[in-house]
Structure 1
Amino acid sequence: MLHRCKEYLQVQVLTLHRGFRSISRAQNRIFLTAGFRGLTDTISEFKALSKPDAFHWNAIIKAHVDAGLFDAALSLFSAMREAGARPDHYTFPLVNRAISSWTEHFKLGEAIHCLGIQTGFGSDIYFCNTMIEVYARSDFIGLARRLFDEMLVRDVVSWTSMISGYVEIGDTQEPLRLFHEMQREGLEPSSVTLAVILRACGVVEDVVGGSQLFSFVIKKGFESHELVQNSLLMVFSKAGCFKEMKELFSRIQMKSVVSWNIIMSANYSMGDVSQVVHCYEKMKTELIPSHETLTLVISAFAKCGDLHQGQKVHCYAVKCGQIDAVLEASLVDFYAKCGELALAIQLFEEIEVKTSTSWSVMMWDFIQQGQFRDAIDLFQRMQSAGFEPSADVIRGLVLSYTHLGALRLGKGIHGYLIRNKLGMDSDDKNLETSILNMYVKCGSIILAQRCFDLMVLKDTVAWSSMIEGYAIHGLGSEALRSFHQMQEEGITPNGVTFLSLLSACSHSGLVSEGRKVFDCMTRNYGIKPDLNHYTCMVDLLGRSEKLHEALEVINSMDAEPDGRIWGALLASCRTYSDGRLGNYAAQKIFDLEPDNVGYHVVLSNIHASTGKWDVTENIRKFMGEKGFIRRPGWSCIEDKGGLQMFVAGDRSHPQAAEIYEVLGCLTRHIEEIHAFETSRND
């Protein structure tokens, strides 16, 4: 099995056992410092040996493991066995270190375990400890526990490795039980053991347990250990106990970069950007910030949109040579969020080695700026570069297709997900819902229903999305039917579910049903309606010409009215030509959003429909004086596998002449049909 590790180094070292000269003590010292030398020199010196023994093989394997060249280290082990050298007490633990850091390594680890037993190291505590780590990291905690239970002699490392394995899989009960059992057997925990146990408390946000452990830490004299301090900081941070975290942080005399990063990350999660910056400035007077530190600070400035301060951090990172792949991606995101998309693109293009993260960040920056075509083009570039799309990238692509109405392309990505069994068996279950929403908003409610029916696990989000789909397509009765079925299957609706239901009732004119839904939300589920729910009720009543009832809803609600809810009432006033109430609603809107050109246009149309042309003219004149410009509408269609975008009034399209000629023909045809129908009715 080991012979499958085909690295170029294996070819070089297979011939080394043929020998050239004898070994001296000076040559032995070469390998003791191998980790501090270049690998090229180490390999050259190794070639000079006539017949390397286990000591020298161990040294060169260790050099490669320390350098992160795990595949090469395993190839060297294979070459060692080919050369006839017998592994010793240190060889197998080194090989296990390489396996623990290598993907798809479980079967190889199992083979090494068998080989170690055959070679006589089955009871070697050092070997067994590293095998526990291999099994635990492979998510085979049962095999790790069996080996642990079979060990005749166990030290602190054995217990710590086993406890860590359970913490890694999210088991928080067994680690504490093992911790107490370890002490009953007379073994004192190390600082690493305590850090692992504290991490278990952090997973379940057990502040009480963490505080008790802290008392134990003080009693055992580990209070000043950096690893223990940082682990306790993480417990308080994850549990949201920021007061306790800050008190502990203030008591730490020698604060490390990790400690500062934890406190900054906690402040960032609280949304306290100013405190993040304050910690960063204070930290710089004592320590050199790490990549993680600078990434945190850049993310904070991106959150508040502070371009100038972020640029200063960028300059500092360049000056200090502290830019890694994660920070590069964060900088791209920072410039995009600060409205400098061109700078973000430029920085992205300058990244020499683009990672999946950098591709994903740039794609989402395009999406957030409404540049959906650019996001799709970037995805195609990413594929050409040989990157497999992550669930996050695919979700962004589906969202882009949804906004552009690209049904055919959306079907293509759905087929890709099915072929690769993504969205169903992967950790990201939201992909199925994203596909469902894509079908809904691209106009295919039938395919959306089919997608929904094929879902194995339908949660509240999936049901709400399907109900929203029926609402968009004006199928109010189907939306209510789905809601009742959802209740029968024991799925609890949330505020979004009821928002979709109210929207469905509004678009289908189901006034009494809408009132029942609103009452059910508050009475049966105790959900307090927010502004969106009230807006839907105003729209529902307004569409049914119950304008004054809609106004009563606005006046009686707890929330403060915004422009959208007055806009819903204004739109209904336009439909039923109620100029008086329309003026009232418009005035409320203009007090809140004086520069919203759309509502000025609606008010103008209301007065035009009632024949008040002088008022209409005054409104349009006012809009001209204020320089209000209405953003033109746009549409997108699929054409021969590509996308064609059109903007109202735009003649820059290369086929503008043909397009407007077809539009003219369609307009004349519609006028002829209208004239024919009118004459026939007369």
Structure 2
Amino acid sequence: MLFYPSHVLPRFVFSRFSKLSLLLLRAHHLKRQSHLPPLVNYSKHLKTLKQIAASLTVSSGSDHVPNSVSSKFTSLYTQSGDLNNAVSVFSSPQEHNTKAWNSIIRTHVDFGRVVEAFSLYRRMRELGVVHDGFTFPIINSAISLLGGDGGDVIECGKMIHCVAVKMGFGLDLYFCNTMMEVYGKCGLVSSARKVFDEMLERDLVSWTTMISGYVCEGSFGCAFRLFRIMRVDIEANFVTVIVLLQGCSLSEMLSEGRQIHSYVIKNGLLSDGVVQNSVLRLYARADSFEEEEIFFSEMDQRDTVSWNTIIGFYSSIMDIEEVVAGFRKMQSEALLTVETLTLVVSAFAKSGNLNEGKNLHCFAVKVGLFDNIFATSLLDFYAKLGDMESSDRLFGDISNRNAITCNAMMSSFVQNGYSRRAIALFRKLQDAGLQPGVDILRNLVDAYANLGALNLGKGVHAYLVKNLSYELQESNSNLELETSILNMYIRCGSISTAREFFSRILAKDVVTWTSMIEGYGTHGLGLEAIEVFHQMVHEGIKPNSITSLSLLSACSHSGLVSEGCEVFHSMKWEFNIRPALDHYTCLVDLLGRSGNLKEALAIIMRMVPYPDSGIWGALLAASREYGDKRVGEFAGERLLKLEADNVGYYTLLSNVKASRQEWAEVEELRRGMNSKYLKKKPGWSCVEQKGRIHGFVSGGKLWSAEETTPF
């Protein structure tokens, strides 16, 4: 049978044979190896490729398949994602050249199969295949994919570095660039700088990689100094300025960011969309309102990232009108994403706009942008606004629940006082075999703290110490969980255990210190709270407004009038904390509890912020305690004008008049309450006994629940 070249084949051949049949026919009869490579060019499908390979193997024998054909099959298999067959074809004894080894290892790295890539490299070393300038950079790419700063990754990187130096590639430009990247990702910026300083030749990638390492480490000053040195030899490109702008955003270095912005304009780099978004993100992070708006209005490439940045900026400054306006304009300019909807619903949560949030919920379902990420944001939104009905319905509609959505629902229950429901949800997660993570256990601890279930809270603490000690060390939420455990001991009345646990927390932030101060205050230990406050300042932790509020409250509950007044004075003049309504309320309560009613009233009348019901309520309670009728009536009148439907204030004013035996006025207040259908809800308490939580109201038991320790 004669063989015709493909360009002179008669048409009847194509009419009688399929393309695959023709290829197999040619594979069977072709004897000259120089004509074999074009065969595989016809194959575009994996199944066809396997049939051609099998035909060649059967007809010619594996020992006669040339390197060029083997390489072609390897390439086509890798393009089809069939790495197993690619390695099988590559295993031919003839395929021992460096280029082929680099190719097959690179393919595994590109597909994320790092372990197999290292295995192939080990085999390459065992066979003694010569390395070239691409081999070690490919291995460094594999090391970079391992990620993290673990000891194994660092040791692997150092080992490859030593081998490369030994083989004479220690000063190779391409290798050094990838080696610096490996050290930078492992957090060994000093090692990367050593490689950088020893390089005989540096290109733009070298400088940018080193600058990026400093930015990732947080050494922004070193990054900018290196940038200034770099400009003597070479000008930056858009990648370099993006890295620098990212550093300015992270460190809120607005002046340096403005300089980079000017450099970008001067060197014609502002046309790049990513650069524009980086500049926009810089001004947003630095809260530079005017520059943010002006730059956004002048952008000629506003994409999804641009709109998300500006919407997030308006959300951070609580400009809800601009958030809504930006969201509507964005729909005509760019593609909406889940991140967009998450930013908008977060703004509605801050503003308390329930209806707009519900409308956005419907919109997300309609346009098909509803996933677990947005569902979690909605759960948080409904929780903050107290709409538990919508939260329950949404959680029930989520088909593929995961730990994140379940944690959001537990948080929703805890925030709105449904601690028992949070515990019940945790039981269901356990029954489903879900291993609880740090966030879920933090919510469980908060639920037990709300119920005063000390022993159950201790059980969670013991479980964490026994099972999740390593995870806690590696987790960013470690301190938050430790603070929750601290609050649990405080709220359950075990202040001594709380103090012992507080002393064992290694890295305390302002929230942890404030929790301990508040704990001492609620237990009437004002002097201890002041001592902890001084210790906090001595260790360099700057107090915030919540810290000052907790300390004022501690002084109030302990009757430390002079100390409380000193705290109020120092918060403004020493720590530059502007007093808010809550601070004034604590000060009025402090003076009122000590009988200084006139001084308390004078402070209210001189207040810069307008007094609210909380301040008048504190003064009314103090006037009742000390029997000051005039101050009490004055405070009561102001109180009922502000909150005419607050049954608690009616009750408090009624008790003040009853203590003065003014029964006619008491009867009038009671009639007013009945006419408005106001009824005070009874307070309740709960107690834990033998793993069960019992709740009580005055006169009888309200509920009892089985709450055995889960661990």
Give the TM-score normalised by structure 1.
0.80
In structure 2, the residue matched to 1:11 is none
Contiguous gaps of at least 5 residues in structure 1: 1-17, 657-682
- 1:197-216 residue CA offsets vs partner (Å, 9 max, x unmatched): 22223333333333332332
In structure 1, the residue matched to 2:322 is 275
In structure 2, the residue matched to 1:93 is 137
In structure 1, the residue matched to 2:198 is 150
Q: What SS does the aligned partner of 2:617 have?
A: helix
Structure 1 residues 512-661: aligned runs within 5 Å: 514-515=564-565, 518=568, 529-578=579-628, 581-647=631-697, 653=703
- 1:203-258 residue CA offsets vs partner (Å, 9 max, x unmatched): 33333333332332233221211222222222222222232233223332222322
Matched, 1:140 2:140: no
Matched, 1:193 2:237: no
Q: 1:317 to 1:565 in 2, by over 3 A?
A: closer
Q: 1:546 to 1:216 in 2, by over 3 A?
A: closer
- 1:648-676 residue CA offsets vs partner (Å, 9 max, x unmatched): 567664699xxxxxxxxxxxxxxxxxxxx
Give the counterpart letter for 1:268 in structure 2. S
In structure 1, the residue matched to 2:158 is 110
Give the counterpart letter for 1:95 in structure 2. I
% identity of equivalent residues: 45
Work out the CA distance in 1 between the residues paired with 2:393 and 2:70.
51
Structure 1 residues 197-236: aligned runs within 5 Å: 197-236=244-283
Q: 1:62 to 1:592 in 2, by over 3 A?
A: farther
Q: What SS does the aligned partner of 1:101 have?
A: helix
User: Retained in 2: the 8 A contact 1:163–1:196?
Assistant: yes
Give the counterpart letter for 2:202 in structure 1. R
Work out the CA distance in 1 between the residues paired with 2:577 and 2:289.
30
In structure 1, the residue matched to 2:16 is none
User: Retained in 1: the 8 A contact 2:694–2:703?
Assistant: no
In structure 2, the residue matched to 1:127 is 175
Q: 1:326 to 1:35 in 2, by over 3 A?
A: farther
Tell me the CA shift for residue 166 of structure 1.
0.4
Structure 1 residues 436-515: aligned runs within 5 Å: 436-454=486-504, 464-479=514-529, 495-511=545-561, 514-515=564-565
Tell me the CA shift for residue 542 of structure 1.
3.2
Question: Relative to structure 2, which stretch is displaced further, 494-503 or 101-110?
Answer: 494-503
Work out the CA distance in 2 between the residues paired with 1:35 and 1:316.
43
Give the counterpart letter for 1:575 in structure 2. E
In structure 2, the residue matched to 1:677 is none
User: Retained in 1: the 8 A contact 2:77–2:86?
Assistant: no
Q: What SS does the aligned partner of 1:285 have?
A: helix
Tell me the CA shift for residue 443 of structure 1.
1.3
Tell me the CA shift for residue 74 of structure 1.
4.4
In structure 2, the residue matched to 1:288 is 335
Give the counterpart letter for 2:65 in structure 1. S
1:248 to 291, 295, 303: 295
User: Retained in 1: the 8 A contact 2:616–2:636?
Assistant: yes
In structure 2, the residue matched to 1:22 is 65
Question: Relative to structure 2, which stretch is displaced further, 417-426 or 148-157?
Answer: 417-426
User: Retained in 2: the 8 A contact 1:298–1:310?
Assistant: yes
Matched, 1:304 2:328: no
Tell me the CA shift for residue 35 of structure 1.
7.7
In structure 1, the residue matched to 2:448 is 401
Give the counterpart letter for 1:98 in structure 2. A
Give the counterpart letter for 1:184 in structure 2. V
Work out the CA distance in 1 between the residues paired with 2:653 and 2:311.
50
- 1:261-302 residue CA offsets vs partner (Å, 9 max, x unmatched): 222222222222332333333232233223433332332333
Question: Relative to structure 2, which stretch is displaced further, 312-321 or 500-509?
Answer: 312-321
- 1:486-544 residue CA offsets vs partner (Å, 9 max, x unmatched): 67778766655554444344334445555565566667767654433333343334334
Tell me the CA shift for residue 597 of structure 1.
0.6
Tell me the CA shift for residue 593 of structure 1.
0.7
Tell me the CA shift for residue 143 of structure 1.
1.3
Q: 1:248 to 1:481 in 2, by over 3 A?
A: closer
Q: What SS does the aligned partner of 1:643 have?
A: strand
Tell me the CA shift for residue 21 of structure 1.
7.8
Q: What SS does the aligned partner of 1:628 have?
A: coil
- 1:394-449 residue CA offsets vs partner (Å, 9 max, x unmatched): 54444333322222233344445555278889755455544443323221222233
Work out the CA distance in 2 between the residues paired with 1:126 and 1:489.
47
Work out the CA distance in 1 between the residues paired with 2:537 and 2:457.
31
Structure 1 residues 326-341: aligned runs within 5 Å: 326-341=373-388
User: Retained in 2: the 8 A contact 1:407–1:439?
Assistant: yes
User: Retained in 1: the 8 A contact 2:71–2:90?
Assistant: no
Q: What SS does the aligned partner of 1:139 have?
A: coil
User: Retained in 2: the 8 A contact 1:317–1:323?
Assistant: yes
Tell me the CA shift for residue 66 of structure 1.
4.1
Tell me the CA shift for residue 594 of structure 1.
0.8
Aligned length: 637
- 1:574-631 residue CA offsets vs partner (Å, 9 max, x unmatched): 3345555433322211100111111112223333344444433332232222111322
Work out the CA distance in 2 between the residues paired with 1:611 and 1:478.
40
Tell me the CA shift for residue 192 of structure 1.
0.5
Work out the CA distance in 2 between the residues paired with 1:21 and 1:232.
60
Give the TM-score normalised by structure 2.
0.77
Tell me the CA shift for residue 634 of structure 1.
2.1
Give the counterpart letter for 2:312 in structure 1. S
Q: 1:370 to 1:28 in 2, by over 3 A?
A: farther
Give the counterpart letter for 2:685 in structure 1. S
Work out the CA distance in 1 between the residues paired with 2:503 and 2:625.
38
- CA RMSD of superposed structures (Å): 3.9
Question: Relative to structure 2, which stretch is displaced further, 130-139 or 252-261?
Answer: 252-261
Question: Relative to structure 2, which stretch is displaced further, 318-327 or 396-405?
Answer: 318-327
Q: 1:643 to 1:629 in 2, by over 3 A?
A: same
Give the counterpart letter for 2:215 in structure 1. V
Contiguous gaps of at least 5 residues in structure 2: 1-60, 707-711
Q: Which has the higher Rg, Structure 1 or Structure 2?
A: 2
Work out the CA distance in 2 between the residues paired with 1:319 and 1:26.
53
